[in-house]
Structure 1
Amino acid sequence: MNERDSLRRRILVTLGVVALFRLGQSLPTPQVTVHAPEADHPVRWILDLLTGGGLATLPVFALGVLPCLAAPRLLRGLIALIPRLAALRAEGEAGARILKRYQRRLTVVLGLLGAVGALVFHGQSVLDGHAAIAVVCLTAGTAVVLRLTEVITDRGFGDGVRILLLAQVLAVLPPEFLRLYERTGWAAIAVTIVVTLSITVFTIFLAQGQRRVPVQYAKRMIGRRAFGGTPTYVPFRFPQANSPAVLAAVLLSVPAFFFGLGDPWWIGGYFVLVCFFAFARAAVRQDMDKVAGELVRVGGFVPGIRPGNPTAQYLDHVSRRIIAFGALCSGVVALLPAAGLALLDAGPMPLVAGVTLQVVLVFLVSVSLDTTRQIESLRQQRRYAPFLR
């Protein structure tokens, strides 16, 4: 199979899985009568954003990719609390396979709990036979969605969870902005264009930007030849994520009912929470002691900084400054659509339409960059394959 056929096959697999996923989000669950919130109710918009309209209508794939998103984060928390799971993570590839199996089972369990919660939300009794059939269908739907994400990851382009999450968010975007256009007219189009360009520029800037810390390797004499001594660098990037904006919007949805979604206090609190969550999420992932120890092991050092603990402190200082700047930019990116829609006096639209627009654009840019890198990697692999045989 040549390079063009391989790329075509991956694209077709990704598009086919997305089409099957959206079909599952339109098939009704048997033995269920839904009582969805009103179309203009903020709860309806939040549910549509998180599940692609699933929890409001309760199709077979009602939970969307929410269990697939929650399971890895819950498993990481369990690893920190349960020594047995921490030991498995330290076992390398064998332990990773076992943890992957636990993650898949945890996803199905979360789907089961979500199915029961969805039925209770719609006022259904979970004790009769009809409810049992609905729970089985919804849980099976979660298992199928999990498999679909794995198919995209293994045989398609990009991360399967992110691709399907983007698909379900795009599904609820047109109705939201149609309602916005009916409220505000052509001003909505102008604001949307400005906000879209601004978010795209900020996202590309954060995704491509990096801080390069110079590293020098000591020379080693092997016989009469000197090896090493070449300069290199340690790249620091700010990790991209949409979870801070979504989490901040969900936390502020309750007090928004009291003082309004377009209120300046709501927008200010939204900005602060996004910055805080983005900083906390990125800071937790940093382990500069490990990086400094790896540099010592391979004979590398930062010029002007002593190896060991001083290097770790210096790298931590640089990393935190980058994280703080990235968190501030994430807050600005999250603030742009909400503030723009608030200027239009769109009522409760800034909560859902603003978060939806940001999530969609950040995902579009990040998925496009990841897909481009993956295509380039495949092309390089095909190019050098004859020399590696």
Structure 2
Amino acid sequence: MKLTESLQNINKIPELRQRILYTLLLLIIYRIGSHITLPGVDASAISGASQTHASDLFGLFDLFVGGAFARASIFSLGIMPYISSAIIVQLLGAVTPYFQKLQKEGEEGRQKINQYTRYGTLLVASLQAWGVSVSLASPASFGRVVVPDPGFFFMFSTVLILTASTLFIMWLGEKITESGIGNGISLIIMIGILAGFPQSLIAEIQSVSLGSKNWIVEAVILALMVVIVAAVVVLTVGTRRIPVQHAKRVVGRKMYGGGTQYIPMRVNTAGVMPIIFAQSIMFLPSTFLSFFPESEIMQNVANVFAYDSWWYAVMFGSMIVFFTYFYTAIAFNPKEVADTMRRQGGFIPGVRPGKSTADFIDNILTRITLPGAISLAFIAVLPTFLTKFANVTPGFAQFFGGTSLLIIVGVGLDTLQQIESHLLMRHYDGFMKSGKVRGRR
């Protein structure tokens, strides 16, 4: 009843209805493109060959692009080159004075940074497209011939199509963010992940029906799934509120201030970005190693970066912890918060304004970020342990742990919050009338 009422409220707001329909239309276009096979590739051969890579990094990359990689479609690279480029630009912003200056120039600086990110996307997509074309043309990569007529024309056309398609997906994401609902780039990643859920669920059910798994064990695994999903939601919406009091001010005949407000500091301030950043970095070695499909040494190195290896889990978890702190430092600046409080006449009880306030906020932020970062890393590497010890299929394991669940929950809550904000601004109840959606009081 509550869901029906909320959907009716959405339909009563023309702007919100148009934004949602516009978003759905662009996402449908993205899904259609993921089913168009590259010219010169044998679709049936690539489909059969991809099954042998379902549990390695090939299968993980394919998960993020909604099966487009396994089909060798024109959208095989997805939006990951854009994410990789954004990581590089943000790292430059932390160490390069020029990019630090751009970050402080407001809207004009943001536009320049976005432009550099687009240029970087073009470069990264070209390199990854070259790696994909080399891998497709080599029978050793898949154990069979997937390109009947490899040659210069195939290599050139594949690089051109994959690069142009990545830029088109980037444009779709920006248009969704601008004229749709939610963050377009994140929604594209999420819809690609969700596209593989029905097939993974069917495979898990078939394994139980065929007797390869005990249904009691499967029930325990599903119960664990519910617990993990709840834990991820709590981690995503969890906050530490810092009380802020405002001194009373008399302006004319009226008195202002004197009330108490709160600074909501999230346990997971960085959101899903550390996961996406770390995952993009982990894709780079496999891209480089794909240039040498017939080299035994390179393939031995590739085994170190295999998705189900312990080294992969350790490196992946470590990078998540690093990027959590890194992105939190970019997204939340205690000094700016302290300066804003001082200008507005606010103060934290028992703490001096200025530097002491900034140090106090930074200390709390550091302490609450540590358990958040460790929790993110644990959930991200959980599918590796479940695949090894619980005999869970790799595809299904991604949906109750790991990157997939974190992205789905984070992006879903962000999108839900934006829809609820539109409803509340027009005095309608949102989806979570009795609950607590992030950012709602």
TM-score, normalising length from structure 2?
Answer: 0.73
Q: Percent identity?
A: 30
Which residue of 1 is the match for residue 256 of structure 2? 227
1:316 equivalenced with 2:345 (yes/no): no
Equivalent of 2:162 in 138, 141, 150 = 138
Which residue of 2 is the match for residue 290 of structure 1? 336
Q: Is 37-46 or 143-152 further displaced after alignment?
A: 37-46
Provide closer, same or farther for how the CA distance between residues 197 and 294 of structure 1 changes in structure 2, counting only shifts above 3 A. same
Provide closer, same or farther for how the CA distance between residues 213 and 111 of structure 1 changes in structure 2, counting only shifts above 3 A. same
Contact 2:246 2:345 in 1 (8 A): yes
Instruction: Work out the CA distance in 2 between the residues paired with 1:38 and 1:70.
Output: 24
1:107 equivalenced with 2:104 (yes/no): no
Instruction: Work out the CA distance in 1 between the residues paired with 2:305 and 2:175.
Output: 45
Equivalent of 1:328 in 330, 349, 374 = 374
Which residue of 2 is the match for residue 387 of structure 1? none
Which residue of 2 is the match for residue 168 of structure 1? 192
Instruction: Work out the CA distance in 1 between the residues paired with 2:355 and 2:366.
Output: 16
Equivalent of 1:354 in 377, 386, 397 = 397
Letter in 2 for 1:232: Q
Which residue of 2 is the match for residue 51 of structure 1? 65
Q: Is 18-27 or 1-10 further displaced after alignment?
A: 1-10
1:7 equivalenced with 2:31 (yes/no): no
Which residue of 2 is the match for residue 273 of structure 1? 318
RMSD (Å), alpha carbons: 3.7
Q: Following TM superposition, by how much is the alpha carbon of 1:137 offset from its aligned partner in structure 2, in angstroms?
A: 1.4
Which residue of 2 is the match for residue 73 of structure 1? 87
Stretches of structure 1 that go unaligned for 5 or more consecutive residues are 385-389
SS in 1 for 2:39: coil
Letter in 2 for 1:361: L
Instruction: Work out the CA distance in 2 between the residues paired with 1:40 and 1:272.
Output: 26
Which residue of 1 is the match for residue 3 of structure 2? none
Equivalent of 2:353 in 307, 317, 320 = 307
SS in 2 for 1:158: coil
Q: Following TM superposition, by how much is the alpha carbon of 1:73 offset from its aligned partner in structure 2, in angstroms?
A: 1.7
Contact 1:212 1:233 in 2 (8 A): yes
Contact 2:278 2:320 in 1 (8 A): no
Which residue of 2 is the match for residue 25 of structure 1? 34
Instruction: Work out the CA distance in 2 between the residues paired with 1:123 and 1:136.
Output: 15
Contact 2:34 2:75 in 1 (8 A): yes
Provide closer, same or farther for how the CA distance between residues 192 and 19 of structure 1 changes in structure 2, counting only shifts above 3 A. farther
Provide closer, same or farther for how the CA distance between residues 256 and 105 of structure 1 changes in structure 2, counting only shifts above 3 A. closer
Provide closer, same or farther for how the CA distance between residues 339 and 2 of structure 1 changes in structure 2, counting only shifts above 3 A. closer
Contact 2:304 2:312 in 1 (8 A): no
Which residue of 2 is the match for residue 39 of structure 1? 51
Contact 1:52 1:171 in 2 (8 A): yes
* Cα deviations by residue, 1:252-282 (Å, 9 ceiling, x for unpaired): 998995799878x679848953763464345
Equivalent of 2:414 in 341, 350, 370 = 370
Which residue of 1 is the match for residue 424 of structure 2? 380
Q: Following TM superposition, by how much is the alpha carbon of 1:296 offset from its aligned partner in structure 2, in angstroms?
A: 2.0
Instruction: Work out the CA distance in 1 between the residues paired with 2:326 and 2:98.
Output: 25
Instruction: Work out the CA distance in 2 between the residues paired with 1:159 and 1:300.
Output: 32
SS in 1 for 2:69: helix
Contact 2:57 2:306 in 1 (8 A): no
Q: Following TM superposition, by how much is the alpha carbon of 1:15 offset from its aligned partner in structure 2, in angstroms?
A: 2.1
SS in 2 for 1:221: strand
Q: Is 211-220 or 37-46 further displaced after alignment?
A: 37-46
Contact 1:11 1:156 in 2 (8 A): yes
Q: Following TM superposition, by how much is the alpha carbon of 1:23 offset from its aligned partner in structure 2, in angstroms?
A: 1.2
TM-score, normalising length from structure 1?
Answer: 0.82
Q: Is 124-133 or 145-154 further displaced after alignment?
A: 124-133
1:206 equivalenced with 2:261 (yes/no): no
SS in 1 for 2:353: coil
Q: Which has the higher helix share?
A: 1
